[in-house]
């Protein structure tokens, strides 16, 4: 068994205290569990913040103000050592939805007065009894769609509230057998070693089948959408992506890659540099290279990958091409 119970307990206590906090106490709660030089990474428009006060002011207090009764509804909870730094740093990862009553505007998004679900994936690096580094990815366009403000043309995949793992075993509060996590990490690395440069090759489905189950599910972000089975994954995600973004494509690496039990994943800052040749997400050709900050979380089954949840900071990607989605939305609201 690989034991990350102390790190998991710290993060669970942090989440419980944050759930009980309000706008007046959010900073003190963050300060209690994080290091003074806490490095926090968030989606556009939050980007990088340092210290509890900045994170509370920029992210948590506005979100708590907008979402009455905000609660955390996790589907995956795991911990592991980071392959990228030689398996030294311990990261605790949670994925699910933040749910509340959307009662006040947030980032210019109109409140609905109804339940809203904000997809999230959170990575926390724990050292010396404190959270020292975090990445908080939230699917802001998904919330916009729920509020009737879809910033994208019709998606190639399906846009819906995304469920957790089919097996319902993603909440790993207890220690897991090390050999299962090693197998999961090996499956993720096999996928990374076998991505394929072009997706129109007739043999690509065969190559993907070496690392993915035939009935794999790719839970993509709002703007791209979810897709099911290898053939539909190729048609509904890979081909549109490759048509528009293969030029100038560069993989920049990850900051964290880990696994525990049948689950694992990674994030980068930014994972990819690429140039839009035109058409992707409704954009004309980009003026130059842009970048994608990406989270991928996976469920392994019998040595292959069965499910994949993806978060991409698409608002940042579009902003680097000259389209500030949130500013455009604010300008429209003025009229």
Q: pLDDT tens digits, residue range 22-69? A: 999 999 999 999 999 999 999 999 999 999 999 999 999 999 999 999
- The percent of residues above 70 in pLDDT, for the chain, comes to 96
Query: Computed from CA positions of residues 226, 312, 92, 107, in that sequence, does the dihedral angle turn out positive or negative?
Result: negative
CATH number of this structure's domain 5-146, picked from the four choices 3.10.450.50, 3.40.50.2000, 3.40.50.720, 3.90.1150.10: 3.10.450.50
Contact by Cβ (8 Å): 286, 321? yes
Each residue's pLDDT tens digit, 245-280: 877 789 999 999 999 999 999 999 999 999 998 888
Same fold, 5-146 and 178-333: yes
Domain boundaries, the chain: 5-146, 178-333
What the block records as the tokens of 142 is: 């998904």
Question: CA 278 to CA 268: how far, in whole Å?
Answer: 24
pLDDT reading at 86 higher than 50: yes
pLDDT reading at 290 higher than 80: yes
Q: Is 303 helix (H, G, I), strand (E, B) or coil?
A: coil
Out of 195-204, 222-231, 314-323, which region has the weakest mean confidence (pLDDT)?
Answer: 195-204
Q: Mean pLDDT over all residues of the chain?
A: 93
Query: What is the arithmetic mean of pLDDT over 69-97?
Result: 98
What the block records as the tokens of 11 is: 């993060």
What the block records as the tokens of 178 is: 């090390």
CATH number, span 178-333: 3.10.450.50
Classify the phi-psi angles of 248: left when phi > 0, otherwise alpha if psi is within -120 to 50, otherwise beta: left
Question: pLDDT: is 329 or 70 the higher one?
Answer: 70
């Amino acid at each position: 068994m690989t034991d990350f119970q102390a790190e998991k307990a710290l993060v669970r206590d942090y989440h419980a205290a944050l759930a009980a906090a309000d706008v007046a106490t959010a900073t003190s709660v963050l300060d209690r569990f994080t290091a003074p030089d806490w490095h926090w990474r968030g989606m556009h428009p939050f980007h990088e913040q340092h210290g509890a006060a900045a994170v509370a002011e920029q992210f948590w207090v506005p979100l708590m103000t907008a979402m009455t009764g905000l609660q955390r509804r996790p589907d995956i909870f795991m911990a592991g050592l980071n392959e990228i730094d030689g398996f030294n740093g311990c990261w605790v990862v949670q994925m699910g939805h933040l749910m509340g009553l959307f009662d006040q505007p947030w980032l210019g998004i109109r409140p609905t007065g109804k339940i809203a679900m904000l997809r999230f994936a959170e990575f926390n690096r724990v050292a010396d009894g404190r959270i020292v580094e975090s990445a908080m990815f939230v699917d802001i366009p998904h919330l916009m769609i729920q509020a009737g403000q879809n910033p994208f043309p019709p998606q190639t995949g399906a846009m819906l509230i995304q469920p957790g793992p089919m097996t319902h075993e993603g909440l790993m509060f207890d220690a897991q057998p090390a050999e299962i996590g090693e197998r999961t990490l090996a499956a993720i690395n096999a996928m990374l070693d076998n991505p394929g440069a072009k997706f129109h090759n007739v043999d690509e489905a065969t190559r993907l089948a070496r690392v993915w189950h035939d009935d794999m599910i790719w839970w993509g972000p709002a703007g791209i959408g979810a897709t099911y089975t290898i053939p539909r994954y190729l048609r509904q995600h890979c081909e549109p992506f490759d048509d528009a973004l293969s030029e100038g494509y560069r993989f920049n690496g990850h900051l964290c890659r880990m696994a525990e039990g049948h689950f694992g994943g990674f994030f980068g800052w930014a994972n990819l540099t690429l140039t839009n040749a035109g058409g992707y997400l409704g954009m004309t050709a980009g003026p130059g290279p842009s970048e994608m900050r990406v989270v991928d979380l996976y469920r392994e089954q019998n040595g292959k990958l069965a499910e994949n949840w993806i978060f991409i900071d698409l608002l940042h990607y579009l902003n680097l091409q000259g389209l500030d989605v949130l500013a455009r939305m604010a300008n429209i609201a003025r009229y």
